[in-house]
Amino acid sequence: MTTLTDPPKASFRLSMLIYDTRYRSLTIQAVAMIGFMLFAAWLINNTMTNLETLGKTPQFGFLLEPAGYDINQRLLDYNSQDTHMRASLLGLLNTLLVAVMGCITATIIGVLVGVLRLSKNWIVAKIMTVYVEMFRNVPVLLWIVLAMAILIESLPAPRAFRGENPEATMNLFDTVAVTNRGIYVPEPLFSNSLGNIHLLGQSSLRFDVSVDLMAFLIVLGLSIFGITKVNARAKHIQETTGERPKTIWVNLGLFFVPTGILMALLGFHLGYPELKGFNFKGGTHMRNSLIALWLALSLYTAAFIAEIVRGGILAVSHGQTEAAEALGMRSGRTMRLVILPQALRVIIPPMISNYLNLTKNSSLAIAVGYMDITGTLGGITMNQTGRELETVLMLMLCYLVISLSISMVMNWYNNRVKLVER
Amino acid sequence: MSDVSFVRTEMLPQQEPPGSSVGVVGWARANLFDGVTNSVLTIVSLILVYFVLEGLLTWTLQSVWNASSLTECREIMTATWGKTHGHACWAVINDRWLQLLYGFYPPYPAEAGVNFGENTGAWPAYFRPNLSFVLLLIAVAPVLFDKVPRKLLIVTAVYPFLMPWLMWGGSIWSPLMAAAGFGIGFLAYRLLTPVIGGLGGIIAAIALPVIWWLFLTGIVAAGLESVVSISIPEVESRKFGGFMLSILIGVVAIGCSLPIGIVLALGRQSDLMIVKTLCVGFIEFIRGVPLITLLFVASVLLNVFLPPGTQFDIILRVLIMVTLFASAYMAEVVRGGLAALPKGQYEGADSLGLNYWQAQRLIIMPQALKISIPGIVSTFIGVFKDTTLVSIIGLLDPLGLSNAIRADAAWNGIYWELFAFIAFLFFVFCFGMSRYSMYLERKLHKGH
């Protein structure tokens, strides 16, 4: 017969903090925390002492002083009397502009190259391999300065467009001028414009909202809403009767007619660039720096995206293709309906990190003089005011916010398309 | 009887496949001209390839190698081919290749300001960086390939101390004393563990070397130097440049980031809440900002964070920041490997009674690192490419030097040749690394 006795009551001893696994983790964490706090305190203390010696106690008042420099490529109105804060804001918008443009083109090129690299056509596949290896193995900064050099050195100067028998002509039926000072494209103009709404008065964050654009977007939104309704009805009819009514013409009409009427009402026309004096006037001027950065970042990131897409497609088992063929699907539909939706789940997470990389790489704009946030806040503002700590901290904060928001949005999308398992 | 008038009684001999489906023709039909779309694509691609190759080969091969300035280059081109574009002027590389490779590093192991006259290019010019590079190859060989004799690992162990001495020069005692710190740690662990117990031994093995490095190394090294002076001339950091600088930053960042990255990844995977939060915070912060902002920190802020009066040179500051940057990315790669490992492996280690570090060393890490090899190598490649960013904060890496060369009146306006040369060298290194990663993946593939 056995009797159960309680194990001897363990009283807490100090050595248990080290030798007992239940408490050891607490000890380690406490030591780590103390160590970290001591380290942080040491850093902050050093910083404070050093800054006081230099007479630069941290303060952000410099943001409201006039910047005194010009930003040539800008999305909002700005002059050199505006504050550093507005200059930074314009820089931030420029960063976002090139990041968005770059992500879009990089995705298009990358998907195309990735699919073509799997092509059965030997020579096409090889060309795409050469493209990918060439761009992946050479630093992006080199591509950016190279693109800039190509634009400046090999394109015609505006004066080449002049005279009876010009050396250079404008492209696309005389609407686009490609010069070594940048590309001039037609700009949308409204002769019966509804004007702008000024927001936030004269502050550093002021901006204008174009009523024309808002009206256009609202009408477009309504059209798209109508199209979804029509499609939903078509689907309903298909499910009840088995026959899908033809919706293509209704959809096209819904899409183009209201927006067309609105455009006509607003007096929409294009403002073409024209050579006046030594330079082109009119149209929208995209500076070389923007184009070089955009081109180089898109082509560079596209090489990585191509590899991701290729990996994603290869990750879908061949049985899926065969099953789709057995069902009688054509190769285009197989790709669109069977392969891509499954490949997307593999593709999206690394794609997110490539978008983030592109956004962070856009900080290399400083090498070609594109005034993004690194060029304004981290460049001229830092050099003019001598406020290194504040500007670098704000710069990092901006990039952190951008990075975290991109990854949040993309993770949300990823969760939506993710395969739901049990 | 049936109406079958003919029944074959013997098998037909096997026939050769039709001529159009074998050999070159068959291959071309299957791979290049399979259908209309494919044929059109092939023809368009061929035309494209022809034009690109035609332009590129003419440019590369019909070129000028000997000239002292761009103007002279253009004169030679006009005299030979009648036009100045479409032909490369490699004379700039011929003229400046030493600078592109070594920056302003003195060719001889000598004091600054000594002129060597016509000997300047002769052996043993650039002896020190060249020896460092050769030793680097010897040091990494046993790590990379398992057929290399294991004894070479001694070079690997010595290299981290030898390389800074060779590159920066100065007294040999400083690196020796730095290495002695590790010896002190080892001895402390061996001798003190029996006396004050395992934990005390570990603490002593960490604390004593730190004290040694922080307070005693300098004094002891200076003392030994005054007794037995063995030193080579010092080279200032601002003279470092060219590919030497890129490789230096790349190698140091790569070498240091792997261990730091592994520690960070383990911290991020651990159950200890505070440790985990600290690691996550560090990793996400570094990954969320561009390298260029960290380089700004290195160039203008790092001295502000350190005790007043600390001044240390810009290359060291850049090395620290690039290493931190690489570590965060490395940590994420290693974490991916740790997460991909089936839970059974962790449980298996537990059931064998291994403690945390034993389990990591014997079971988890070998497998996790193997899974993450492609990621690790692509991080390496990324870091090596990112070393070009130091040109933005004014260091003379190849890109920075290309600007400096263009600033010279003789070579003002030369772009393509310099870019092609730099791109070619980076390509060779990065492509080599990616091929090595593929080789390693194949070799380590122990599955079916």
CB contact under 8 A, A392 and B301: yes
**pLDDT at position A176 over 60:** yes
Residue A176 carries which DSSP code?
Answer: B
Could you tell me the pLDDT band of residue A208, with boundaries at 50, 70 and 90?
A: confident
Region B4-22: mean pLDDT is 82
Q: Is B146 helix (H, G, I), strand (E, B) or coil?
A: coil
Could you tell me the pLDDT band of residue B247, with boundaries at 50, 70 and 90?
A: very high
Q: Which of B41, B272, B290 sits opposite A28 (nearest CB)?
A: B272
Q: How far apart are CA B132 and CA B245, in angstroms?
A: 12
CB contact under 8 A, A364 and B389: yes
User: Got the DSSP string for A5-74?
Assistant: -PPPPPPP-TTHHHH-HHHHHHHHHHHHHHHHHHHHHHHHHHHHHHHHHHT-----GGGGSB-----SS-
Domain presence at residue B157: no
Q: How many CB atoms lie within 10 A of CB A368?
A: 23
Same-domain status, B57 and B101: no
B41 touches chain A (CB under 8 A): yes
Domain's final residue, options B77, B96, B115: B96
Same-domain status, B332 and B277: yes
pLDDT tens, A244-271? 888 888 889 888 888 888 888 888 888 7
Alpha helix locations (H) across A120-210? Answer: 122-136, 140-154, 171-174
pLDDT tens, B187-215? 888 888 787 777 777 888 888 888 888 88
Lookup: tokens for A340: 């891509």
Residues 95-124 of A with CB under 8 A from B: 119-124
Q: Is B370 exposed, middle or buried (0-12, 13-18, 19+ CB in 10 A)?
A: middle
8 Å CB contact between B244 and B106:
no
Q: What percent of chain B has pLDDT over 70?
A: 94
| pLDDT at residue B442, as a whole number | 83
Which of A411-420, B1-10, B67-76, B241-250 holds the top average pLDDT? B241-250
Residues 358-397 of A with CB under 8 A from B: 360-361, 363-364, 366-367, 374, 378, 382, 388-389, 392, 395-396
CB contact under 8 A, A29 and B427: no
Domain's final residue, options B96, B116, B131: B96
Phi then psi dihedrals of residue B116, to 5 deg = -100, 5
CATH number at residue B436: 1.10.3720.10
Q: Is A190 helix (H, G, I), strand (E, B) or coil?
A: strand
Same-domain status, B290 and B302: yes
Least confident of A183-192, B180-189, B241-250: A183-192
Domain presence at residue B160: no
Residues 6-65 of A with CB under 8 A from B: 18, 25, 28-29, 32-33, 36, 43, 46-47, 49-51, 53-54
Same-domain status, B48 and B92: yes
Nearest chain B residue to A364, by CA: B292
Q: Which residues of B touch A118 (CB under 8 A)?
A: none
Q: How many domains does chain B have?
A: 2
Nearest chain A residue to B355, by CA: A21
> Which comes out higher in pLDDT, residue A322 or B3?
A322
pLDDT tens, A229-248? 999 999 999 889 888 888 88
Domain presence at residue B127: no
| pLDDT at residue B118, as a whole number | 53
Same-domain status, B101 and B68: no
Nearest to B268 by CA among B283, B257, B255: B283
Nearest to A348 by CA among A394, A293, A406: A406
| pLDDT at residue A421, as a whole number | 55
Q: What angle do CA B342, B343, B345 make, to 5 degrees?
A: 80
Contact partners, residue B47, CB within 8 Å, separation at least 6: none
Q: How far apart are CA B440 and CA B448, in angstroms?
A: 16
CB contact under 8 A, B399 and A142: yes
Q: How far apart are CA A332 and CA A347, in angstroms?
A: 19
Residue with tokens 């294991």: B150
8 Å CB contact between A354 and A304:
yes
| pLDDT at residue A3, as a whole number | 66
Residues 156-215 of B with CB under 8 A from A: 199
State the virtual CA torsion across A289, A291, A295, A296 in degrees, nearest 10.
Answer: 0
Region A91-107: mean pLDDT is 94
CB contact under 8 A, A404 and B288: yes
Q: How many CB atoms lie within 10 A of CB A58?
A: 11
Same-domain status, B442 and B381: yes
**pLDDT at position B115 over 60:** no
Domain presence at residue B23: no
Could you tell me the pLDDT band of residue B237, with boundaries at 50, 70 and 90?
A: confident
Q: How far apart are CA A236 and CA A244, in angstroms?
A: 9
CB contact under 8 A, B289 and A360: yes
What is the CA A399 to chain-centroid distance, rounded? Answer: 12
Domain presence at residue B403: yes
Which of A328-342, B229-243, B384-398 holds the top average pLDDT? B384-398
8 Å CB contact between A197 and A211:
yes
Lookup: tokens for A261: 């009427």
Could you tell me the pLDDT band of residue A9, with boundaries at 50, 70 and 90?
A: low
Q: How far apart are CA A252 and CA A43, in angstroms?
A: 63
Could you tell me the pLDDT band of residue B390, with boundaries at 50, 70 and 90?
A: very high
The helix (H) or strand (E) run that includes residue A310 is helix A288-315
Region A137-151: mean pLDDT is 92
Residue with tokens 């492996």: B345
Domain's final residue, options B96, B126, B150: B96
User: Residues in chain B, how many?
Assistant: 448
Structural domains of chain A in order of their starting residue, each with its CATH number: 58-136+287-422 (1.10.3720.10)
Average pLDDT, chain B: 85
Nearest chain B residue to A122, by CA: B31
pLDDT tens, A287-323? 889 999 999 999 999 999 999 999 898 888 889 989 9
Domain presence at residue B389: yes
Q: Which long-range contacts (CB under 8 A, 24 or more apart) does B192-200 make?
A: B199/A18
Average pLDDT, chain A: 86
Q: Is B5 helix (H, G, I), strand (E, B) or coil?
A: coil
- Which of B293, B386, B401 to probe by mutation at the A interface, max A CB count within 10 Å? B293
**pLDDT at position B111 over 60:** no
What b/e readout covers A193-203, taking b as 16+ CB neighbours within 10 angstroms?
Answer: eeeeeeeeeee
Least confident of A290-294, A409-413, B133-137: A409-413
Lookup: tokens for B124: 């043993």
Q: How far apart are CA B248 and CA B255, in angstroms?
A: 11
Residues 150-209 of A with CB under 8 A from B: 153
Same-domain status, B259 and B315: yes
pLDDT tens, A186-199? 888 888 777 788 87
Nearest to B170 by CA among B220, B242, B249, B236: B236
| pLDDT at residue A407, as a whole number | 80
Q: Residue A176: beta bridge partners? A: A171
| pLDDT at residue B376, as a whole number | 87
- Which of A92, A142, A394, A400 to probe by mutation at the B interface, max B CB count within 10 Å? A142
CB contact under 8 A, A141 and B388: yes
Residue with tokens 């660039």: A273
Dihedral sign, Cα of residue B417, residue B420, residue B426, residue B427: negative
CB contact under 8 A, B288 and A403: yes
Residue with tokens 């061949």: A318
pLDDT tens, B144-165? 887 888 888 888 888 988 888 8
**pLDDT at position B248 over 80:** yes
**pLDDT at position B448 over 60:** no
Phi then psi dihedrals of residue A275, to 5 deg = -80, 115
pLDDT tens, B283-297? 999 999 999 999 999
Q: How far apart are CA B273 and CA B279, in angstroms?
A: 10
| pLDDT at residue A1, as a whole number | 53
Domain presence at residue B222: no
Region A216-221: mean pLDDT is 91
CB contact under 8 A, B290 and A363: yes
Residues 225-244 of B with CB under 8 A from A: none
Domain presence at residue B134: no
Phi then psi dihedrals of residue A161, to 5 deg = -85, -5
Q: Which residues of A touch B388 (CB under 8 A)?
A: 139, 141-142
What b/e readout covers B305-324, taking b as 16+ CB neighbours within 10 angstroms?
Answer: ebeeeeeeebbebbbbbbbb
Q: How far apart are CA B162 and CA B169, in angstroms?
A: 10
**pLDDT at position B120 over 80:** no
8 Å CB contact between B65 and B77:
no
8 Å CB contact between A338 and A321:
yes
Stated pTM of the model: 0.87
8 Å CB contact between A87 and A69:
yes
A403 touches chain B (CB under 8 A): yes
8 Å CB contact between B145 and B156:
no
Work out the minimum CA distance from B113 to partner chain A, whole angstroms: 33
Q: What percent of chain B has pLDDT over 90?
A: 25
Same-domain status, B77 and B101: no
| Crossing angle of helices B173-211 and B153-168, rounded to 10° | 110
CB contact under 8 A, B289 and A403: yes
Could you tell me the pLDDT band of residue A206, with boundaries at 50, 70 and 90?
A: confident
Domain range holding B437?
97-105+240-341+367-448
CA distances from B107 to A295, B118, B244, B248, B405 (A): 40, 12, 13, 17, 19
What is the CA A188 to chain-centroid distance, rounded? Answer: 24
CA distances from B76 to A153, B70, B413 (A): 21, 10, 17
| pLDDT at residue B229, as a whole number | 78
Number of CB pairs, chain A paired with chain B, less than 8 A apart? 152
